Amino acid sequence: MTARRVLNVLRKEWAVMAASVSNLLYVVLIPLLLTGQALFLIWLVSRFVAGQTATAAMLQAAPQATAGVLPNLSAADQFRVLLLSQFHFFLLVVPAMIANVFATLSIVEEKITRTLEPLLATPVRTWELLAGKALSGAIPAFLAAWTCAGIFVGAAIGLGWGHLLRFILSPTWYLTLFLLTPAVAVMSFVLGVIGSSRASDPKGAQGIAVVIVFPIFALIGVQVTGLVWFTPTLTLILALGIGAIDLVLIRVAVRLFQRESIIVRWR
Amino acid sequence: MIETAKLTRRFGDRLAVKALTLTVNAGEILGFLGPNGAGKTTTIRMLAGIIAPTSGHAMVAGIRPDREPERLHEVIGLLPEAPGFYERLSARRNLQYFAGFYSNRDIATQAEKYLALMGLQDRRDDRVASFSKGMKQRLALARALLHEPKVLFLDEPTAGLDPEVAREFRDLIKDLSGEGRTIFLCTHNLTEAEQLCDRIAVVRTQLIALDTPENLRQRQFRRQVVVKLESVDDDLLKAVGDLPFVQDVQRQENRLTVALSDPDRDRPELAARIVQAGGRILEISEERRSLEDVYLSLVHEEEAS
């Protein structure tokens, strides 16, 4: 019964999302734009910096862990590997944004259409409702991230960087894609729900949600700026840590999703 | 079927519902009347297990709404004040979604059955956004009935509907009552309440009165007959006033308003006495107070107290 209800919520969320061209475009276009932008920047930077003295200086500044495993590559290729290796972390923006958009739109939709009251008069439990909503946001979020990763790999081969993939598709890459991405998608969605639940109106919900996901962007920032270099072990610890936080956040979200206050306060 | 005992709800410092105690029998239509902000919707939400009471308790179909809301929701249907649909989805998709939360129901069959019953089968695949208010309201009633509930909570079901649709809606409510469902009807429409309800509860945060419309009328106003005459003089007025069963008599030009202890029994004798006193009667009828008069009188009394 529970699985049927969760699936029921999930199918409805997708149907509502698919019925809105603007929402659908947002979910499809944002990941593609981010991937295209990342590739373009990598191509641009590596084209103009390759072979120049600045490359060597920048590589020297890069963490020894990375520089040390690329002994047989030219300075230009080493630089490309360095840049391309940032992509999987940069890709975390996709699940963070998509899941958050799903969360706020989903809760705000219930408010605007005033469907929450008849919905809460059915036997659905709060956690079933939130689980269905969370999956409806998390699944497209990490599917989009994986699709973007596939496009990225294809584009890298197309740009003649195929021989570098064995350095880029590292354990960290796979751990990020298949553990960290879903964990971040769930976290972003749940934070969006918490923000939406506490807001007194739909605009406030979106505002709070944006602020709440900021730490996820900060996480991406510390990696791409090289402040912290995520090794496979560190990535695994981070993914498991976020997964654990997700479990706590889900419980918090269920507690904070106070049916009464949403029905009574949101007018 | 519905019982409440000192059901109370506060929102911060504001008391929305105060110590509401009432019983609604199985198969009965109870009209729940009160001015805006009287706590009608809050009461429905508490009885439907959507919000919890601050104190007191309720039993609906033998279930405590605050303790077992999921079990309760299998046996009740709610038509909220705002219909509430996913406007970009079709009528059928909306019904299928809501039906998908109930156990042991053939979702597709139930949705089709009630779309047909509400006359919406031709528009079932249209987006709800394209529906009129009346159609949305009918769809909302269909949704409330999908799981064949024993108890229905209807919050302002005909508000904003045109007279023809409102009448269709009232007929539907009568039919539902005829099927043995218990209906808790929250309305501002006093004519509707009088036509549909077995009993009326008047509330203003707390329960002011609860009885049949007729008993409320009698309780609030004396029964009076109005006699129109060709002319009225003081002798005639005195002759009527001296009758033992006359409680009060008022004259307005050629019209007498006479309060009687039992108009059905006393009216013939009153007519005979008037004729005997030389009066020529043009018309004699009982003055019937509307439910609106009763309601306003009750609310004003409560306000004054």
> pLDDT by residue (tens digit) across A74-118?
777 777 777 777 777 778 888 888 887 788 778 777 877 889 889
How large is the greatest C-alpha to C-alpha distance in chain B, in angstroms? 77
User: Given this model, what pLDDT does residue A27 score?
Assistant: 77
Q: Which of A117, A123, A264 sits opposite B73 (nearest CB)?
A: A123
Q: Does B252 touch chain A (CB under 8 A)?
A: no
Q: Which of A11, A109, A121 sits opposite B73 (nearest CB)?
A: A121
DSSP classification of residue B249: E
- Least Cα separation, residue A119 to chain B (angstroms): 7
| Position A64 confidence tier, pLDDT thresholds 50, 70, 90 | very low
Alpha-carbon torsion A129, A132, A135, A136, what sign?
Answer: negative
Answer whether residue A121 shows pLDDT above 60: yes
| Single-letter amino acid code for the residue at A69 | V
Alpha-carbon torsion B202, B206, B209, B210, what sign?
Answer: positive
Q: Do residues B79 and B155 lie in contact, with contact meaning Cβ atoms separated by under 8 Å?
A: yes
Q: Is A260's CB within 8 Å of B52's CB? A: yes
Q: Mutating which of A8, A16, A117 best tests the B interface, going by the most B Cβ atoms within 10 A?
A: A117
Q: Which residues does chain B have within 8 Å of residue A263's beta carbon, measured at their own beta carbons? A: 45, 50-51
Q: What is the dihedral of CA A258, A263, B2, B8, to 10 degrees?
A: 80
Please state, in angstroms and rounded to a whole number, the distance separating the CA atoms of residues B274 and B260: 14
**Total Cβ atoms within 10 A of residue A117:** 23
**Total Cβ atoms within 10 A of residue B36:** 7
User: Given this model, what pLDDT does residue B253 score?
Assistant: 86
Q: Decide the pairing of beta strands B2-11 and B206-211.
A: unpaired
Q: Does B255 touch chain A (CB under 8 A)?
A: no
User: Given this model, what pLDDT does residue A219 score?
Assistant: 72
Chain A residue closest to B70 (CA)?
A123
| Position A54 confidence tier, pLDDT thresholds 50, 70, 90 | very low
Query: Model confidence over A164-214: pLDDT tens digits?
Result: 888 888 888 888 888 988 888 888 888 887 777 766 665 676 676 667 667
**A window 82-111, beta carbon within 8 A of B:** 109
Q: Which of B70, B84, B89 sits opposite A15 (nearest CB)?
A: B89
**B window 50-79, beta carbon within 8 A of A:** 50-52, 70-71, 73-74, 76-78
Q: Is A118's CB within 8 Å of B48's CB? A: no
Answer whether residue A129 shows pLDDT above 50: yes
Answer whether residue A55 shows pLDDT above 60: no
Please state, in angstroms and rounded to a whole number, the distance separating the CA atoms of residues A258 and A251: 12
Answer whether residue A31 shows pLDDT above 70: yes
Please state, in angstroms and rounded to a whole number, the distance separating the CA atoms of residues B137 and A172: 55
Q: Which residues does chain A have within 8 Å of residue B51's beta carbon, measured at their own beta carbons? A: 259-260, 263-264
User: Given this model, what pLDDT does residue A65 score?
Assistant: 44
Instruction: State which H helix or E strand residue B76 sits in.
Output: strand B76-79
Reading the block at residue B21, the tokens are: 């105690």
B287 closest CA partner among B229, B237, B235, B227:
B227
Q: Is B80's CB within 8 Å of A118's CB? A: yes
Q: Which of B71, B84, B101 sits opposite A114 (nearest CB)?
A: B84
- Interface A:B, Cβ pairs < 8 A: 84
Number of Cα atoms under 13 Å in the Cβ half of residue B75: 18
Q: Do residues B195 and B189 lie in contact, with contact meaning Cβ atoms separated by under 8 Å?
A: no
B74 CB-contact burial (10 Å; exposed 0-12 / middle 13-18 / buried 19+): buried
| Single-letter amino acid code for the residue at A245 | I
Q: What is the mean pLDDT of each run of 10 residues along chain B (305 residues)?
A: 91 88 92 88 92 91 90 92 91 91 78 86 91 89 89 88 82 87 89 87 87 78 84 86 86 87 84 88 82 78 74
Average pLDDT over all residues of chain A:
78
Q: Is B78's CB within 8 Å of A20's CB? A: no
B237 CB-contact burial (10 Å; exposed 0-12 / middle 13-18 / buried 19+): middle
Q: Which residues does chain A have within 8 Å of residue B148's beta carbon, measured at their own beta carbons? A: none
Q: Does A114 touch chain B (CB under 8 A)?
A: yes
Please state, in angstroms and rounded to a whole number, the distance separating the CA atoms of residues A256 and A197: 7
Q: Does A117 touch chain B (CB under 8 A)?
A: yes
B246 closest CA partner among B231, B232, B267, B228:
B267
Q: What is the dihedral of CA B224, B226, B227, B228, to 10 degrees?
A: 170
Q: What is the dihedral of CA A7, A11, A17, A19, to 10 degrees?
A: -170
Please state, in angstroms and rounded to a whole number, the distance separating the CA atoms of residues A223 and B164: 67
User: Given this model, what pLDDT does residue A58 score?
Assistant: 52
Q: Is A16's CB within 8 Å of B88's CB? A: yes
Alpha-carbon torsion B94, B97, B102, B108, what sign?
Answer: positive
Q: Which residues does chain B have within 8 Å of residue A14's beta carbon, measured at their own beta carbons? A: none
Q: Would you call A84 helix, strand, or coil by DSSP?
A: helix
Q: Do residues A145 and A220 lie in contact, with contact meaning Cβ atoms separated by under 8 Å?
A: no
Q: Which residues does chain B have within 8 Å of residue A125's beta carbon, measured at their own beta carbons? A: 70
Q: Is B101's CB within 8 Å of A123's CB? A: yes
- Least Cα separation, residue A217 to chain B (angstroms): 32
Q: Do residues A80 and A161 lie in contact, with contact meaning Cβ atoms separated by under 8 Å?
A: yes
